[in-house]
Structure 1
Amino acid sequence: MFDSTHAHITTWVVALILFAVVLILRKGGNQKGAKITHMILRVFYLLIILTGVLLFSRHQGFNPALYGLKFLGGVIVIVMMEMVLVRGAKGRNTGLLWTVLIIVLAITFFLGLRLPLGWNMLS
């Protein structure tokens, strides 16, 4: 089942879309809709972690250091997404969190392309 990354990619693409939807709903003043969507997004965080752990445990033998860094980067991305949403809802400054989120997301995405299960565009 986890010889490919389809389930993992699907979960993080849906999570990124839900993240954007929560931000849009909150900016539009629909707090109830934002809260419901945020709860659904949290379920997708769990699915991302579950599919990531399954992929990691199955394929980390190819390059353990890079897979470990990608795993850590993925967890940091999830944490930063959650912190941006929670601190934003409280009206606190999220500038630094956005910076860390974007940088770690780019690094994690690059590692995903670079590793053997990636699209091999960067080989």
Structure 2
Amino acid sequence: MLEFLGSQTHLHITTWVVALILFFVAVSMQKGSKGRKITHMILRLFYILIIATGVALFITALDYGQGMLYGFKLLFGLGVIAFMELVLVRSNKGKSTGGMWAGFIICLIVVLVLGFKLPMGFQFF
């Protein structure tokens, strides 16, 4: 099964895109609403899918000889997921989310730049 996940860059990208859409939908919904809670739970399922496909791609990427950069991408990707969760949880509790948004944006930019720069990704740069 690891070979299947490791060769499926498109599967990983699809889970990321769906998760980002779900995240922004959840953020835009009314705090404490039932729809937001359901969207948040579906988003948590996508976190698991992202992590599973990402780890499989990381293991596959070790063959490319740039394991350290892929390791940084993995860590910043986990940071994106953590900040997404923190934004939703802190906003539900009525706490400030400015720092969490900043962390989310920084981690997301680093992940996208590394993803487009490294050999397994799409070559935009």
TM-score category (smaller protein):
over 0.9
Q: Distance in 1 between matches of 2:61 and 2:40?
A: 31
Give the number of aligned pairs: 120
Q: Distance in 1 between matches of 2:32 and 2:84?
A: 19
Q: Secondary structure at the match of 2:115?
A: helix
Q: Could you tell me which residue of structure 2 aligns to residue 89 of structure 1?
A: 92
- Say whether the 8 Å CA contact 1:4–1:117 is kept in structure 2: no
Q: Distance in 2 between matches of 1:69 and 1:14?
A: 23
Q: Could you tell me which residue of structure 2 aligns to residue 14 of structure 1?
A: 18
How far 1:58 moved relative to its partner?
Answer: 1.2
1:3 maps to a residue whose letter is S
1:88 maps to a residue whose letter is S
Q: Could you tell me which residue of structure 2 aligns to residue 61 of structure 1?
A: 63
User: Where does structure 1 differ by over 3 angstroms across 4 or more consecutive aligned residues?
Assistant: none
**Normalised by the size of structure 2, how large is the TM-score?**
0.92
The alignment status of 1:48 with 2:50, answered yes or no, reads: yes
**Normalised by the size of structure 1, how large is the TM-score?**
0.93
Q: Secondary structure at the match of 1:60?
A: helix
How far 1:30 moved relative to its partner?
Answer: 6.7
Unaligned runs of 5+ in 2: none
